[in-house]
Structure 1
Amino acid sequence: MKQPLLLLASLSFAFSVYADNHNIDSFSKAKRLLEKQVYYDNKITLYCNAQFDYQKHVMPPAGFNTTKYVKRSKKVEWEHVVPAENFGRTFVEWREGDSACISSKGKAFKGRRCAEKTNKEYRYMQADMFNLYPAIGSVNALRKNYNFTMLPAEQNSFGSCAMKINNRKAEPPVTSRGRIARTYLYMEQNYQHYHMSQSQQKLMNAWDKMYPVDDWECQRAERIAKLQGNKNEIVESRCLISGKI
Structure 2
Amino acid sequence: MINFRIAFYFSLSLISFSSLADGNITNDSFNKAKKMLEKHVYHDNRLTIYCGAKFDAKKNIEMPAGFVTTTHLKRSKKVEWEHVVPAENFGRAFSEWRNGHQECVDSKGKAFKGRKCAEKMNTEYRYMQADMHNLFPAIGAVNALRSNYNFTMLPSVKSDFGSCDMRIDHKKSQPPESSRGTIARTYIYMEQSYPKYKMSKQQRQLMAAWDKQYPVSKWECKRAKRIEKLQGNANEEVNSSCLYVH
- Pick the TM interval, shorter chain: over 0.9
Q: TM-score, normalised by structure 2?
A: 0.92
Partner of 1:79: 82
Say whether residues 1:166 and 2:169 are aligned partners: yes
Q: Which residue among 175, 178, 191 is the counterpart of 2:178?
A: 175
Partners of 1:99 and 1:14 lie apart in 2 by: 26
Q: CA deviation at 1:72?
A: 0.3
> For 1:72-116, what per-residue CA distance to the aligned partner results, in whole angstroms no more than 9, with x for missing partners?
000000000000011101100001111111111111111100000
Maintained 8 Å contact 1:48/1:60: no
CA–CA distance in 2 between the matches of 1:230 and 1:51? 28
> 2:221 aligned with 1:218, yes or no?
yes
**C-alpha separation between the residues in 2 aligned to 1:92 and 1:127?**
19
Aligned: 1:239 with 2:242: yes
| Structure 2 match to 1:104 | 107
Percent identity, aligned pairs only?
Answer: 64
Aligned to 1:57: 60
Is the 8 Å Cα contact of residues 165 and 175 (structure 2) preserved in structure 1? yes
Q: Distance in 2 between matches of 1:16 and 1:175?
A: 34
Specify the SS of the correspondent of 1:82.
coil
What amino acid does structure 2 have at the position aligned with 1:22? I
What residue identity is the alignment partner of 2:182?
Answer: R
| 5+ residue gaps, structure 2 | 1-14
> Which runs of structure 1 show a deviation greater than 4 angstroms over 4 or more consecutive aligned residues?
12-15
TM-score computed with the length of structure 1 as normaliser: 0.92
| One-letter amino acid of the counterpart of residue 115, structure 1 | A
Structure 1 stretches of 5 or more lacking a match? 1-11
| Alignment partner, residue 28 of structure 1 | 31
CA RMSD in angstroms, aligned pairs only: 1.3
Report the counterpart of residue 154 of structure 2 in structure 1.
151
User: 1:228 corresponds to which letter in structure 2?
Assistant: Q
The equivalent of 1:132 in structure 2 is 135
* Aligned twin of 2:8: none
